[in-house]
Chains A and B, each alone.
Chain A
Amino acid sequence: MLATFCKNAYRDKVGMTEMKNESNGFIKNAKKLLDNIGFFVLGLEDAYEKDKAAEEILSRLSELLQLCKSYDFNKLSSFIESLIKLIKEIAQKEKFLDTEISDFLLDSFERIISLVENAEKEGLETLKAPELKEFEGRISEFLDEMDKMPQASVIHTDDMLRTISKDKKIFLNELIQKSENVYEILLQVVGTKAVEIDVTEFFDKLKEIGEVTHIDADTRKLPLLEELDPSIPYISLTFVLISDKNAQEIEDTLYKVIGTDTDVKVLVSPVFPDAIEKFTTSKGDSLSAMSAGEDKVQEVMDMIISQQEEFYKIAETPEDRRWRGNMVINVLQRIAEYMGWVTKSGNLVKMIKTNKIKLPERFVNLVNLIINNDKKLQENESKDRGVYAARTENEGIERREIKKGEEKILQEYNESISRDMTNNKGFSEIETTKTLKVDQTKIDELMKLVGELVAVNNGLSFMIKKIEMEYGSTDVTKELKDKQVLLKRIGNDLQDIVMSLRLLPIKYIFDRFPRMIREISRKLDKKVRLVTEGEETQIDKNIVTALYDPMLHIIRNAIDHGIEKPAERLKKGKSEEGLLVLKAQKIGDKVIIEVRDDGRGIDTEVVKAKAVQKGFVSAEKAATMDEHAVLELLFIPGFSTSDDVTELSGRGVGMDVVRDTVRRLGGNVRLMSKAGVGTSVYLELPVTMVTSRVLLFTLKERRYALPLESVGELVKIKVEDIRKMKGKEVVVLRGEIMPLLRLKEFMGLQNDAEEKFDTEYSLVVLNNGVAVMVDEFIGEQEIIIRPLPEELSSVYFLGAAILGDGDIVLVLNPEKLGGGI
């Protein structure tokens, strides 16, 4: 600590603090932009993810470019610029990215990341002239290659117009100028019902109707070959057709061919000149002219309004009616905004009430109906709350219950109406954002406070018991007990809610593996198919972050030692591709993460032999061990760190480390394996956890802990430093007098005989000025403190924690240690 302090002081002196902050800003931002970028590079290889991946990479890189430029890192900037150029080319060109380029991209990003990391350590100057020659050379090679490649010809229907290649856009534009009736026809698969379409007839019909100028296929629904059912139409087709018939006629004609009872639908939409224009020039100018006529607008509005009437009519309970009323008013308000009857800030209801605008009768009637009903409801409610409440309760049994969310909107709705009356503000105010970004440290702090609250409460229950024991049970103690139970419940609820704030989907960590798995399997010449399940399972953020390394370890083991080489797999009758499953599942208050492979499994005989050879078990004992016990052997520290791990054909490489980490997170690891079939590693983890740093020390060879934040310093003193003052022992340290607490004595562990031989004592000086004597310091550690069960709770302990080695330590409450003196 002193060293850091000195360093900082030195930096201050030479005015480096400012620079350090500046570099922190750059490094922090750059790291954020580069984080996980490899994942998106892999996305470039996937035909369907490609556009999105390219978009993400490009947006990150351009931000990074800006950043580098603002710091005058010219060489790095130009490198990033050429990367951007390359990725832009990739996005436009051929369907699949070949692995050579993606490897190069991955390497490039890795290089940038290592440059940034280096700069973090050695200062930003290192970024002024980075060594990138080799990369730059290869980029220009790739760019040259790209030039020779053909333009993309496949169009993804999900972005039909947006991703249309330039050629097609120009082509469509030309078409539209030549002829007004250009249609885009989508022959679309909406289900999996088997159908038989006479494709020849379909095409003939199309030719009859007009001129087909362009065809695209969407093959995304195609499953893997083994799952393919030839009778199911997986492919959707898009045609561009010029015809003098109208859309309805074309549709009718085509339906005659394919029949109506199928899962294949035909969608015919005219291609509008302005639509094309918009996509060739800029994306989405929402105010541009519509091609729909007045009649159509009227027709659609009528349809929407009559549906709103229906929507309102089916209300079953008063609450339901209010809920529906509120929604309908919202919809009508929007329609009025769209039609230009009211402005975004104008309140439709108010305007109708005050007869300020003239609106279609039907529209006004519906609004009036709703507000009249609503008013009546409010009157009823205020007249007789009891009846109202009872009614709600009965109706709650009915299918449509009143929902909390609805209550909230209703409340908001009412509030906004009353507000509108006075403020002349619009309905749009109803929609306020209800999500909030909060600094994680604040949540941690809150969590800690809540934890303390619960611990204090446990102490309270202990005190009440003590009072009862000493003075007997009275009305007061009973009442006190009731209050304490209530407090406890509130505390627990509070804890639950704060806990839930810290949860993240496990996807967060699963998403980081595909890239790594690919890399490892390529290095090892193995083929691995990754399947993830239960990605939405929620788990504490701290666990998510801490889990990465152990999981990486397990996955690496699975690929390295579990999954066989393709040729070996084929020989064994397995598929060439090894299967690796990452699966998360919430069971009770635990999350179980399974990492499963279908590799060669663990040969228990080999493990046994190895254990005997290393002297962990005797040969006799090994012979009687069951499978489970054998797998346990793998967790022994140092079991198979030797070089012949691959020969062992199992894992065990550092499994002790994995178990250690997981235990520290409050969880456990189990292993299941069958030789030849595969291995599963189960990580059992708590959903939530709060970690605290503690100081570990021993008392009579048992370990105890104190929260680190309560520890001021650690000192060793000689026996002559202990003095007596007013009959109590004190320690004089740098002229300061501190009360001394012999913890062993205090806890009733004292054994007089041994103390006499000590000449040097270890002291923990607490922040509250008490010097606590302990046997020996061990060090600091991050642990999860769990409150003791009520039967064992005591004010002297904050709780207990499980250490990495499975041992349990009690955590002392520093507040209470001063009290005994």
Chain B
Amino acid sequence: MNPSVLIVDDSAAVRGFHGSILRNVGFEVEEAANGYEALEKYLAKKFDLLLVDVNMPKMHGYELIRQIREQELHGFVPVIVISTESGENDYLEAFRVGANLYLEKPVDPICLQLSAKMLTGIR
């Protein structure tokens, strides 16, 4: 079965872009436009990977991750944070709430593909 990824980003274009990058290497892609939608989808189904944007209206990406880590409904799900902020403390904050990997926008597609595969352990 193909690995599944949930892409959370308020921009449809970004979701589409990251989605097509990951689809390229065999991921089943689902999208969420905000934190609430993401939580709903996370609760309903086990994903192999989450890709989370940091700056989102309604619910901040880190708040989303914090809540997901609090729930841990489906065991361990790796989380990649994609951020536009490049402050030094930003990635620390990402790690604090439980993100496993921190990538900066714009993402190098190959790097994203490799990271996603490594975090899911699927070749």
Contact = CB atoms under 8 A, between A and B. Distances in A.
B110 A296 contact: yes
A333 interface: yes
Interface in A148-190: 156-162, 186, 188-190
A536 B117 contact: no
A236 B31 CA distance: 18
Interface stretch (A129-137, A402-410, A577-585, A780-788): A402-410
Interface of A: 48, 156-162, 186, 188-191, 218, 220-221, 236, 251, 265-267, 269-270, 272, 275, 278, 283-288, 290-292, 296-297, 300-301, 303-304, 307-308, 310-311, 314, 326-327, 330-331, 333-340, 344, 400, 403-406, 408-409, 412, 430-435, 505, 536
A622 B71 CA distance: 58
A338 B118 contact: yes
A190 B76 contact: no
B92 to A, nearest CB: 6
B46 A433 contact: yes
A286 B3 contact: yes
Given A314-B95, A337-B121, A338-B118, A161 B24 contact: yes
A218 B121 contact: no
A265 B13 CA distance: 11
A159 B20 contact: yes
Interface of B: 2-3, 11-17, 19-21, 23-28, 31, 36, 40, 46, 55, 69-76, 78, 84, 91-92, 95-96, 98, 100-102, 105-107, 109-111, 113-115, 117-123
Contacts of A159: 16, 19-20
Contact of B105 (A221, A265, A311): A265
Contact of A314 (B92, B102, B106, B114): B92
A92 B69 CA distance: 41
Contacts of B106: 188, 251, 265-267
A291 B117 contact: no
A160 B46 contact: no
21 contacts: A48-B12, A158-B12, A158-B19, A158-B31, A160-B17, A186-B13, A188-B17, A220-B12, A236-B13, A251-B106, A270-B109, A275-B24, A284-B2, A285-B26, A287-B26, A303-B111, A310-B92, A337-B122, A339-B118, A409-B75, A431-B46
A327 B46 CA distance: 17
Contacts of A158: 12-13, 15-16, 19, 31
Contacts of A48: 12
A344 B70 CA distance: 27
Q: Which 3 A-B pairs have the closest CB atoms?
A: A286-B26, A334-B121, A158-B16
Contacts of A157: 12-13, 16-17, 20
Secondary structure at chain A's binding surface: helix, strand, loop or mixed?
mixed
Contacts of A251: 106
A280 to B, nearest CB: 13
A190 B17 CA distance: 12
Contact of B110 (A267, A286, A291, A304): A291
A348 B16 CA distance: 35
B94 to A, nearest CB: 9
Contacts of B24: 161, 272, 275, 278
Nearest to B92: A314
A342 B73 CA distance: 26
B118 A301 contact: yes
Most buried by A among B28, B72, B113: B72
Contacts of A275: 24
A314 B96 contact: yes
Contacts of A300: 110-111, 114-115, 118
Contact of B40 (A220, A267, A334, A536): A536
A331 B119 contact: yes
B96 A400 contact: yes
Contact of B26 (A284, A297, A344): A284
A308 to B, nearest CB: 8
Contacts of B71: 405
A434 B13 CA distance: 33
A634 B105 CA distance: 59
Nearest to A314: B95
Contacts of A400: 96
Contacts of A186: 13, 17
A291 B108 CA distance: 13
Given A221-B12, A536-B40, A338 B123 contact: yes
